[in-house]
Amino acid sequence: MNTPEFQGTHLWLRLGWAKESLEAYQSDYRVVYEDSVDECAKILVPDPNWMAAAMQGGILPPVWVYWELAKDEAQPDFKKHTRGYLLHDTQPIEALDEKSAIEYLIMKDINPSIWMNWDEGNRPKMVICKKQQLPQTREWRNAWRISDELAA
Amino acid sequence: MAGKIIADTLETGAGADIATSYVVNGSAKAWANMNGTGTIALRDSLNSSSLTDHSAGIYTTSWTSSFADTEYATTTATNLDQAYSGDMCIVTHATGSLKHKTYYGAGHAGTDASINCHTNFGDLA
C-alpha cells in the first residue's frame, strides 16, 4: 500500500490513516536503561501502531523535530508550543527497518543523557534486547538492574 | 490527501446542527490500553509511540503528535481488584508524554494490573 503525500497534513490525521490502513506490528525488541543509580532499570516498549507507521514510511516526522519541541518546552517561560508546524510541515521520513525504528524511538523517547553516552563508564547504561531476555514475571520489579548477562 | 471534507457545521436530517469544532475539540487525541503484568505491552492505542516501564505500576506513554501544552485532560481506568482500593492516576503531564501510576491501598504503592487505560483530550501542537 502506498502512503499518500502527507507533507503539510496534520500528524494526528496521518496517524489516523495509519491506524485504519496498516496492520499493527508487535516488535520483540525492548530497550532497557538506567538513568539513576538509586532507581531500578526502565524498559521502553515500542507501540505496535507506531512501529507500523515507522516501517511504512511517509508518515512520521524526522526525530530532530521532537528535539526542537523539547528545547522549547525546556524554556522557563514555556506556556504553549508555537512551532507545532514542524511536526506537520516537515518532509516525513522514509520507511525504516525494525532496528532503525527502534533507534529512532530511543532518540525520541529516551533522555539524550542516556543514549548519547550509553557505553561510557564501567558498564553500559542502555541495552537493546529481545523481550524473551527479560524476566517473564514482574517479581522484584523494583529491584531490576541491567545484568552482566544482558550487558554482554 | 484524498477524501477531504470541509464543513463548518454538521446537520442532521431533522435540522439539528452543531459546529464541526465541537466534534474536533471533543475528540480524544490520544488513548492507550496496556497490559502491566508479565512482559508488559500495549494492546492498542492512538497517537502513542512507546510505553516506558519505570517500576511496578509506574509507566510513561509517549505521544507521536504532541499536545500544545501540559494542560490537557486525562481520564484513567484499571481493573485492579476493588478489594485493594486500587486506582490509576496521573503523575506528570508533558506535551510529549504522560506519566501515570496504578496503585492500591492506603500507601498508594505502585502495583501492576493487567488492564490500564487512559484517554486524553486537549489541543494538539
Per-residue pLDDT tens over the stretch A28-42: 999 999 998 899 999
Domain contains A75: yes
The beta-carbon neighbor of B64 closest among A6, A15, A40 is A15
**Global confidence as pTM:** 0.92
Domain contains A128: yes
Between the ranges A127-131, A144-148, B8-12, where is the mean pLDDT highest?
Answer: A127-131
Helix (H) or strand (E) holding B26, with range, is helix B20-26
Print the domain residue range for A108. Answer: 11-151
CA R_g for chain A:
17
Print the domain residue range for B50. Answer: 28-121
Distances (CA, A) of A7 to A57, B47, B66: 12, 18, 17
Query: How is residue B81 written as a grid cell?
Result: 481488584
Q: In chain A, what residues touch B48 (CB-CB under 8 Å)?
A: 47, 49-50
Domain contains A5: no
Q: Give CA–CA dist B80/A41, Å, rounded.
A: 24
The beta-carbon neighbor of B95 closest among A47, A81, A137 is A81
Mean pLDDT of B64-90: 88
Domain contains B19: no
> Does B117 lie at the interface with A, CB-CB under 8 angstroms?
no
Domain contains A65: yes
Domain contains B7: no
Domain contains B117: yes
Domain contains A36: yes
Question: How many domains does the structure of chain B reveal?
Answer: 1
Is this prediction's ipTM beyond 0.85? Answer: yes
Domain contains A61: yes
B83 band by pLDDT with thresholds 50, 70 and 90: low
Domain contains A4: no
pLDDT exceeds cutoff 80 at B106: no
Q: Give CA–CA dist A81/A14, Å, rounded.
A: 20
Question: How many domains does the structure of chain A reveal?
Answer: 1
Q: Which chain A residue is nearest to residue B42, measuring alpha carbons? A: A47
Give the ranges where chain A is alpha helix by DSSP (H). 11-21, 48-56, 63-73, 85-89, 98-109, 112-115, 148-151
The mean predicted confidence, pLDDT, of chain A is 95
Condensed to tens digits (0 to 9), the pLDDT of residues B29-51 reads 999 999 999 889 999 999 999 99
Q: Give CA–CA dist B118/B55, Å, rounded.
A: 18
Domain contains A54: yes
Q: In chain B, what residues touch A142 (CB-CB under 8 Å)?
A: 55-56, 110
Domain contains B35: yes
Domain contains B10: no
Condensed to tens digits (0 to 9), the pLDDT of residues A64-97 reads 999 999 999 999 999 999 999 999 999 999 999 9
Q: Give CA–CA dist B50/A42, Å, rounded.
A: 13
